[in-house]
Structure 1
């Protein structure tokens, strides 16, 4: 890693926390950004010399602007941005109300939009950077019971490709990691029958560990991926091999 400062949203738990640990282990200073201040503090306590916690609501532009100002003042200009924060709730599409649809879209799609808009200018001025968006295989192939979520994550995939085109000349790469079922607090909240069915559908016959998703993110954030941009990588144990 040549970049020194990273911002990771959703760093309080699950995949986001694993990403924070992976980047910090490579020598990067990591801003752990999350709506869950206590969870972010738990993450940073594991390596306080490499991490600092920040509270942010990524669905609110003003909150994102404060985050950028605070991180830059404390740590310097971030040249790695990982949009890992997300939110979901299983349920029928026809039963979803307007409030639910707006929240799903605000967190899972507009959040990455606002984060990219706020942090890209600093990367452009710095002469390069890495953006890694964590979407979902639901956004690649669809997912019953997660239709609006899948639509928002599909938007993140398209956002990744379009932003990658716009900033390529600034030596900024923008890539996307799409996890399949992963052992996170959200997955553990699912009905046991659904968890068993998902596990059985995966060729490896097990769900992913957060660290396995974090490894893909760390690759895209590293110098080893300097000539890769606008790409979408599924980390699903072979669950979705096409598309």
Structure 2
């Protein structure tokens, strides 16, 4: 990270789902580059442990992202924010005919509606400041679909379209909005899935990328940090795959 340690100094960042996995990688990277970072997560222990490990530059708040009033209240209490990273998400592997309306509601609430809630709450402060960076963590599934992940894919596709619309509406305020789409990333959640699915699942995920390997949370975080920085001031409405070429491979 030579040369970028202070790139985000003086900026305040919110990262949802920031306690573990990709989110934790993003939190650590933004804090290392000088930002004050607030973690929103329902896992109190993990969020507070990460906050303590990072020292005074990182705070943790336990927030149910499906509760719009709670999200707005915590953002009003802890903000305003210069950077908002909507990272929280959940998947459910099942063919669509095996899912229920309750499943649809839960997946859409966490993967899409929480993005609405956070963005709605942070935008007024960004507009008043004349500066803002919104980075939404989607998935290549939102671009190419996912066998056994139809509702998740629909939600992530919605995030892509929503982000572009927010970019269009807020450019006049100096606010940018971009998507980062991870492919298969080496996280504890993925490793747990591999333990159930076996080596064939791992080989399938690696084979879905042009580079033939899993990505790391740090590689996703590097892309997020750039888009969150002042250096990315002329980048908005874009969708960046951090997926080892998965989007091309799937095509």
Question: Normalising by the residue count of structure 2, what TM-score does the alignment of the two structures yield?
Answer: 0.92
Query: 2: CA distance between counterparts of 1:234 and 1:4?
Result: 25
Q: Indicate yes or no: 2:68 matched with 1:65.
A: no
Q: 27, 31, 45: which is aligned to 2:34?
A: 27
TM-score (ref. length: structure 1): 0.95
Pick one of 92, 98, 101 that aligns with 1:98: 101
> Aligned residue pairs: how many?
239
Match of 2:245 among 206, 226, 238: 238
Match of 1:201 in 2: 208
**Conserved 8 A contact 2:16-2:41:** yes
Q: Which 4+ runs in 1 deviate beyond 6 A?
A: none
Question: Where in structure 2 are the equivalents of 1:84-233 lying within 5 Å?
Answer: 84-190=87-193, 191-192=197-198, 193-233=200-240
Contact 1:187 1:195 in 2 (8 A): no
Separation of aligned partners in 2, 1:17 and 1:66: 23
State the distance in 2 between where 1:171 and 1:30 align. Answer: 21
Unaligned runs of 5+ in 1: none
Query: Does structure 2 retain, via aligned residues, the 8 Å contact 1:24–1:50?
Result: yes
Residue 3 of structure 1 and its aligned partner are, at CA, apart by 4.9
Decide which moves more: 196-205 or 8-17: 196-205
Please report the RMSD computed on the Cα atoms of aligned residues, expressed in angstroms: 1.2
Could you tell me how far 1:2 is from its partner in structure 2? 5.4
- Does structure 2 conserve the Cα–Cα contact (< 8 Å) formed by 1:35 and 1:56? yes
Match of 1:7 in 2: 14
